[in-house]
Amino acid sequence: MSKSPSTKVNRETSGCNVDVSFKISPDEYSRMAVSTRKLVRCDDNASGLRGLRDLETGERFFICEKDLFPSAFARVRKGLE
């Protein structure tokens, strides 16, 4: 899946400098991603984390990519064996 230009801009300009972070489940991440809350992407690619930052509260919600896309990681691992 390709990322839209607006997603890339949001991620790059979000800053991600927050004091409060919460680990969330895949279901919570999916619900938040399509909610009407003012959220921007706030990923930490080096750590393999996908994140959302609330623009109003500054809180960051994150999930490990392996938890969000388990079938994709299983295929990669199987292909390496």
Per residue in 16-72, pLDDT (tens digit) is 555 689 999 999 999 999 999 999 999 999 999 999 999 999 999 999 998 888 777
Which pair of structure tokens corresponds to residue 47? 């750590």
Residue 16: predicted pLDDT: 58
Helix, strand or coil, per DSSP, at residue 54: strand
Which pair of structure tokens corresponds to residue 32? 């938040």
Residue 76 has pLDDT above 80, yes or no: no
Q: How many structural domains compose the chain?
A: 1
Backbone angles phi, psi at 41, to 5 degrees: -65, 140
CA distance 70 to 57: 30
Helix, strand or coil, per DSSP, at residue 5: helix
pTM across the whole model? 0.63
**Domain, as residue range, for 60:** 5-80
